[in-house]
Amino acid sequence: MSFQDLLDTPAPILGTWSQIASAEVVDIIGASGFAFTIIDTEHGVFGLETAADLVRACNANRLEPIVRVPTNESWMIMKALDAGAGTVLVPKIESAEAAKAAVAAARYEPHGRRGACPCVRSGEQFVRNWPAYAQEANRSSGVIALVESPAGVEAFPEIAATDGLKAVLFGPFDLSVAMGKEGDFRHPEVVAALEAMTAQARTADLPVIMPVFSPDMDQARREMRDWQAQGVSAFTIGTDKLLLADYCSRYTGHLKR
């Protein structure tokens, strides 16, 4: 099942972030019922070689792999897709031109400019029927735009209109820092910007993925319901580090009472 197929299924869709370079942690994420994970090569301390192994772990656990590349470079997007990522998350999209460039890097000719090679993992190391493979890759693979800056908020109507984007993911924490709110992603001005972009995405018929950071289950459920009421159906819940750190600290804190 591709990420596009997930988007077409009934809501909600739950994913998380993989920032720990461990296939065993990916095993746990898959066994816990998540539908996808974002393998983070921007903030995770690892590169595409490690990400490729984490993609394999996702495949073994029927977990849809999304690779977050460090920057909007065509060769990074190509290599992530060649390694077997179903979808690539591209950070700091701040213009329609940047979104179009990312989409083009993820598509084969004549629809884009992704480098073509028959001997890649995404094609099971040797593509015997290139036309069929390329057509399916252009359909199922693609780009999610990460919007996380005031410039991205300002340009969002044009970004959302970009043909070929699979979805958009918002970066509330980065946005709050860039807006001078010092990481307060629940600040009214930050929330207002997120809500405005969500409405614009809905108008453009572009799926939204919304991060829910709170490790508190009741708070997370409330946040999800608030965004679901605004048409959001896909969520990233915490990160592997956040969930592990929260559980460990609560567990030890309870035992030390």
Enzyme catalytic residues: 43
- Other CB atoms within 10 Å distance of the CB of residue 192: 11
User: Do 76 and 51 contact (CB within 8 A), yes or no?
Assistant: no
DSSP 3-state of 166:
strand
99/34 Cα distance (integer angstroms): 27
Cα gap 247→243, rounded to integer Å: 6
What residue spans of the chain are helical by DSSP H?
3-7, 23-31, 48-60, 74-82, 96-105, 130-140, 150-154, 156-160, 172-178, 188-203, 217-228, 240-255
No. of H helices and E strands in the chain? 12, 8
The position carrying tokens 């849809």 is 64
